[in-house]
Amino acid sequence: MYLRDIMIEDLKKIEIEARAEITLLTEAAHFEEAKIKYLGRKGLLAAVSAQMSQVPSDKKREAGQELNRVKNAIESLFSDKQKTLGTFSAHAYKKIDASMPGTFYSPGTLHPLTQVIDEVIGIFRHLGFDLVEGPEAETEYYNFEALNIPLNHPARDSFDTFYLDSGRLLRSQTSPVQVRVMEKTKPPLKIIAPGKVYRPDATDATHSFMFHQIEGLMVDEGVSFAHLKGVLFAFAQEFFGKGTKLRFRPHFFPFTEPSAEIDIWSEARNSWLEVLGAGMVHPQVLKSVKIDSEKYTGFAFGMGVERLAMLKYGVEDIRHFFENDLRFLRQF
Ligand code: PHE
């Protein structure tokens, strides 16, 4: 083998070795050491270069070119490395200790209100109810008019809400979903519709300008108040436990007749707590969706999700649900 070939072989090996070594460099302390090893006055490239004088003159050019190419390549590897090492040390980079225990990220949990909504949905699905959703930015027609609450009726006050520039409003109840469903689906139908509702209430321990409701609706031939009672009773036994007591109080809603508010007995508070409104779907509402009220009857209810959660878990203040304090949330 000619010396020129040996030189070129050596240069290739040096280049490969340098590339590997420089790539693996993680500490500035070893950087200078490596640089001297390859590019120093007595370094590997200098040693190859010293053999140059012995290469026959017609091959000098080729060998010299290769030497320069490798030298330039290694120099630029070092200068690139210097830049990244600089950022490493700026971030107080430490060599990775693979034997150290890893960082533990605790998995999150579903928000307690989400858990309650899921549980309620599960119970009603077992009773054969379908899940539907409606828009939060609702029209005046669905939130009021179609629910038998005309503009001049005083019942508007109790369902007052926030009005958007678009002419829409933030729904103040999930009842508009009843109308949307009945417009599209003819009886028999059984649905529940969970979601956010809004009211211009001042915030305190039991009020929030935004809260959640779950609407229920069943329409068929021969549906009676007894069915409403049966369904709500079954729900309460499942959700709060066997033996849970319910109380139906006569009430007024423009979209149901007769109407009731339903309380659940709380052992912890030693008192009744109102958790839902309900009643038989008003013939006027059926008329607005062109369902024959002589043939079909139905019941509807709307429950307050925060109220259910407060009662079930003994939460004293509704604001806890919205403050995102992990000490509170982690308990669920
Ligand atoms: N929408 C009523 C409310 O928000 C509750 C309700 C729903 C009452 C369905 C009767 C029937 O207070």
pLDDT tens, position by position, 202-244:
999 889 999 999 999 999 999 999 999 999 999 999 999 999 9
Asked, for residue 105, whether it belongs to a domain, the answer is no
pLDDT above 70 for 91: no
pLDDT above 70 for 314: yes
Q: Are residues 235 and 321 in the same domain?
A: yes
Asked, for residue 116, whether it belongs to a domain, the answer is yes
Asked, for residue 106, whether it belongs to a domain, the answer is no
What is the average pLDDT across 163-177?
Answer: 96
Q: Are residues 296 and 149 in the same domain?
A: yes
Residue 183: C-alpha distances to residues 10, 82, 152, 176, 285 (Å):
85, 70, 25, 11, 11
Q: Are residues 210 and 169 in the same domain?
A: yes
Tell me which of 149, 178, 255 to substitute to probe ligand 1's pocket, judged by most ligand atoms within 8 Å of the beta carbon. 255
- Judged by phi (left if over 0) then psi (alpha if -120 to 50, else beta), residue 29 lies in alpha
* pLDDT range class, residue 89, cuts 50, 70, 90: low
- Which residue, by CA, sits nearest to atom 7 of ligand 1? 302
Asked, for residue 99, whether it belongs to a domain, the answer is no
Q: Which of 42, 65, 94 represents a domain boundary (last residue)?
A: 94
Residue 277 CA, closest ligand 1 atom number: 8
Q: Are residues 298 and 260 in the same domain?
A: yes
Q: Are residues 78 and 178 in the same domain?
A: no
CATH number at residue 141: 3.30.930.10
Least confident of 125-129, 228-232, 279-283, 313-317: 313-317
Q: What is the Cα–Cα distance from 92 to 69, expressed in whole angstroms?
A: 35
Q: Ligand 1 center to residue 159 CA distance, Å? A: 10
Question: Hey, what are 110's tokens?
Answer: 């579903």
Nearest alpha-carbon partner for 54 in 9, 13, 12, 5: 5
- Which residue, by CA, sits nearest to atom 9 of ligand 1? 301
pLDDT above 80 for 115: yes
Q: What is the Cα–Cα distance from 25 to 207, expressed in whole angstroms?
A: 62
Asked, for residue 251, whether it belongs to a domain, the answer is yes
Tell me which of 178, 197, 253, 284 to substitute to probe ligand 1's pocket, judged by most ligand atoms within 8 Å of the beta carbon. 253
Number of domains into which the chain is organized: 2
Nearest alpha-carbon partner for 89 in 25, 14, 148: 25
Asked, for residue 87, whether it belongs to a domain, the answer is yes
Owning domain of residue 134: 112-329
What pLDDT score was predicted for residue 322? Answer: 96
Q: Are residues 283 and 179 in the same domain?
A: yes
Q: Ligand 1 center to residue 70 CA distance, Å? A: 82
Q: Are residues 182 and 39 in the same domain?
A: no
Ligand 1: residues with CB < 6 A are: 173, 175, 253, 256, 259, 277-279, 300-302
Q: Which of 65, 94, 123 represents a domain boundary (last residue)?
A: 94
